[in-house]
């Protein structure tokens, strides 16, 4: 599969009922061209039969790289979008990512919607689409707690602190209604190990995602991320194994400075150096045998200028017709509407703010397949909001006037900078 042809297909595809979407928008391709199809692909490569997931990637994407695989390493580089990676490779063609692509494949995929970490990682860790797992966004209304919740620390939105829901009795291991990939692989005798920053090992999201993982290995800095992956791989020579790793620095820097800033480029450049020196060059032939390396991202980012921000307080008619301030993401706000005001809010969004966003009803978003196929998890109807906005171009909707000054890069919407992500696949025994 030629990457340019595939990229053109991903950029131009529209379901029959979505022909009127803004031209730049990228629709998520759950049928075999998205990150959501990676879990089933991994299961298939390792010889596991796991029904109920999204289908595997289209077979022509990996081709003969899939032959004889016994071990898969999946590394998630948070926030490293397709366009951003190509910008970096053009600046430095000698990055290790480029060398791996030359002997493997570097292809674009879509992420899922909303294009945000909590949601995408839930899909990558389960193989279920958002409509079935229900961890939809950074902020959501959780009916079981009767409040808007920030879904990284699981605390009330606006709270100064973290982990409040844990203190109040939340059980993260029971939050998702679907089993994890690791749990399902373990039931068929295939272990999963994970390398993640030590300070994230025991957080609520890790407890949600890593159910069934055999062992979590912590690392302190970038300098020991790739070496820890290598050591775990060497420790389990000859085993069928899924080894996963997560690196979040690119996303953090892109939020702070924007996705095309030198800080993010230098982070990727240093990461690529460590990948080559402490991982690839240090492996023995026995370590490489039957091993496929997959490097991918959960989403990209788009730069959001301060002057393009919409402040909720400047729209009192909208604000006062809502039960809660918009949650979800600043790039894809969820509107929870007061009884009797749905028609008025929809009219306001499609007239006063028509040049800044596209509006879906809850039913329309679910029926369209935007959140993936399958029977919706019951809580999705409470978490998603009555109306869902998807911001056009580089706009955001925020509650706090300081937010656009703090976060210069954002994600969550359908622009190609957010939705197109790289899949770098290479055999280590080639």
pLDDT in tens, 105-149: 999 999 999 999 999 999 999 999 999 999 999 999 999 999 999
pLDDT tens profile 39-80: 999 999 999 989 999 999 999 999 999 999 999 999 999 999
In the three-class reduction of DSSP (H, G, I as helix; E, B as strand; rest coil), residue 305 is classed as coil
Walk across the sheet containing 241-247 and list its strands.
Answer: 105-110, 420-427, 291-296, 71-77, 241-247, 192-197, 215-219
pLDDT over 80 (residue 1): no
- The mean pLDDT of 273-291, rounded to a whole number, is 97
- Partners of 334 in the β-ladder: 327, 388
Tell me the pLDDT of the chain averaged across its residues: 96
pLDDT tens profile 338-361: 999 999 999 999 999 999 999 999
Return the ∠ at Cα 85 (arms to 80 and 91), rounded to 5°.
140
- The mean pLDDT of 372-382, rounded to a whole number, is 98
- The mean pLDDT of 359-368, rounded to a whole number, is 98
Place 161 in a pLDDT band, splitting at 50, 70 and 90.
Answer: confident
Given a contact cutoff of 8 angstroms between Cβ atoms, the answer to whether 79 and 300 are in contact is yes
Given a contact cutoff of 8 angstroms between Cβ atoms, the answer to whether 77 and 295 are in contact is yes
pTM of the predicted structure, to 2 decimals: 0.97
Place 430 in a pLDDT band, splitting at 50, 70 and 90.
Answer: confident
What is the structure's pLDDT at 405?
A: 87
Measured distance between the N- and C-terminal CA atoms of the chain, rounded to whole angstroms: 19
What is the structure's pLDDT at 158?
A: 85
What is the structure's pLDDT at 84?
A: 98
pLDDT tens profile 198-225: 999 999 999 999 999 999 999 999 889 9
CA distances from 365 to 164, 369, 418, 426 (A): 31, 7, 19, 36
- The mean pLDDT of 244-266, rounded to a whole number, is 97
Place 404 in a pLDDT band, splitting at 50, 70 and 90.
Answer: confident
pLDDT over 90 (residue 160): no
Give the length of the chain: 430
| Cα-based torsion angle of the residue sequence 220, 226, 231, 232 in order, rounded to the nearest 10 degrees | 90
User: In sequence order, which residues have a C-beta less than 8 Å from that of residue 85 and are 6 or more positions away?
Assistant: 97, 268, 297, 422
């Amino acid at each position: 599969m030629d990457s340019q042809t595939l990229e053109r297909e991903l950029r131009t595809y529209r379901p029959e009922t979505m022909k009127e979407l803004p031209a730049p928008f990228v629709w998520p391709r759950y049928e075999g061209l998205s990150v959501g199809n990676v879990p089933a692909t991994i299961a298939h490569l390792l010889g596991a039969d796991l029904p109920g997931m999204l289908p595997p990637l289209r077979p022509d994407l990996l081709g003969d790289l899939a032959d004889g695989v016994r071990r898969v390493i999946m590394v998630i580089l948070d926030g490293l979008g397709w366009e951003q990676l190509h910008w970096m490779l053009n600046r430095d063609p000698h990055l290790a990512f480029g060398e791996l692509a030359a002997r493997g494949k570097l292809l674009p995929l879509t992420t899922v919607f909303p294009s945000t970490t909590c949601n995408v990682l839930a899909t990558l860790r389960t193989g279920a689409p958002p409509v079935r797992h229900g961890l939809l966004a950074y902020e959501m209304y959780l009916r079981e707690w009767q409040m808007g919740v920030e879904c990284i620390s699981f605390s009330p939105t606006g709270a100064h602190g973290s982990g409040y829901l844990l203190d109040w009795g939340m059980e993260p291991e029971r939050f998702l209604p679907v089993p994890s990939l690791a749990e399902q692989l373990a039931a068929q005798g295939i272990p999963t190990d994970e390398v993640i920053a030590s300070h994230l090992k025991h957080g609520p999201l890790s407890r949600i995602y890593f159910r069934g993982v055999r062992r979590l290995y912590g690392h302190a800095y970038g300098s020991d991320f790739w070496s820890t992956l290598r050591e775990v791989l060497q420790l389990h020579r000859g085993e069928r194994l899924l080894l996963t790793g997560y690196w979040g620095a690119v996303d953090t820097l892109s939020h702070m400075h924007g996705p095309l800033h030198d800080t993010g480029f230098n982070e990727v450049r240093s990461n690529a150096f460590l990948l080559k020196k402490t991982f690839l060059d240090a492996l023995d032939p026995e370590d490489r045998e039957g091993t496929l390396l997959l490097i991918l991202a959960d989403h990209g980012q788009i730069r959001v200028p301060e002057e393009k921000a919409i402040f909720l307080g400047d729209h009192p008619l909208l604000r006062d017709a809502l039960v809660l301030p918009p949650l979800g993401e600043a790039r894809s706000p969820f509107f929870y509407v007061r009884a009797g005001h749905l028609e008025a809010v929809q009219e306001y969004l499609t007239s006063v703010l028509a040049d800044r966003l596209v509006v879906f009803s809850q039913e329309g978003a679910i029926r369209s397949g935007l959140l993936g196929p399958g029977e919706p998890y019951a809580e999705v109807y409470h978490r998603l909001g009555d109306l869902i906005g998807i911001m056009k171009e580089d706009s955001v909707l925020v509650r706090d006037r300081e937010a656009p000054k703090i976060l210069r890069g954002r994600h969550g919407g359908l622009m190609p900078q957010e939705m197109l992500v790289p899949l770098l696949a290479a055999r280590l025994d080639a």
